[in-house]
């Protein structure tokens, strides 16, 4: 009985030793992904707060003005990222010059 327990403990130890690096790598990858996503969002916000969003053709569009809310469909006036009625954002805006849709960088 004691021998059987010993073998079992050794197996468990081996599994923990072999498994630890795998778990560490998984944890690290998840962490890096989370940080990258966070950086992407922050950059999107900075771009929007800078006052101008560029369409695929490079036309500058102000982030303040008249927009249609994606959630409650109200047309509001103000910053593109916040509906005056429900607090959601427009989701996307049409370029003033070529009418191409510009997805808001933090929505996606």
- Closest approach of Zn ion to the CB of residue 54, in Å: 8
Q: Are 77 and 84 in contact (CB under 8 A)?
A: yes
- Interface mask toward Zn ion for 28-67; x: CB under 5 A: ---------------------------x-x-x--------
Question: What is the rounded distance in angstroms from the CA atom of residue 59 to the CA atom of residue 3?
Answer: 76
- Binding Zn ion (rule: CB under 5 A), the pick from 20, 24, 35, 72 is 72
Residue nearer to Zn ion on the CB measure, 21 or 50: 50
What is the maximal distance between C-alpha atoms in the chain? Answer: 82
Report if residue 94 touches Zn ion, rule: CB under 5 A: no
71: its two tokens: 């959630």
Q: Are 65 and 31 in contact (CB under 8 A)?
A: no
Report if residue 95 touches Zn ion, rule: CB under 5 A: yes
- What is the DSSP-derived secondary structure letter of residue 93? E
What is the Rg, in whole angstroms, of the alpha carbon atoms belonging to the chain? 25
Report if residue 108 touches Zn ion, rule: CB under 5 A: no
Residues making contact with Zn ion (CB under 5 A): 55, 57, 59, 69, 71-72, 74, 83, 85-86, 88, 95, 97-98
């Amino acid at each position: 009985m004691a021998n059987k327990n010993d073998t079992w403990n050794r197996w468990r130890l081996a599994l923990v030793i072999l498994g630890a690096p795998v778990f560490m790598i998984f944890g690290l990858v998840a962490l890096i992904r989370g940080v990258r996503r966070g950086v992407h969002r922050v950059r999107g916000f900075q771009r929007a707060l800078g006052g101008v969003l560029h369409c695929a053709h490079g036309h500058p569009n102000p982030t303040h003005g008249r927009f249609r809310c994606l959630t409650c469909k109200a047309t509001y006036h103000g910053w593109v990222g916040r509906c005056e009625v429900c607090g959601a954002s427009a989701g996307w805006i049409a370029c003033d010059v070529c009418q191409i849709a510009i997805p808001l960088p933090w929505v996606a």
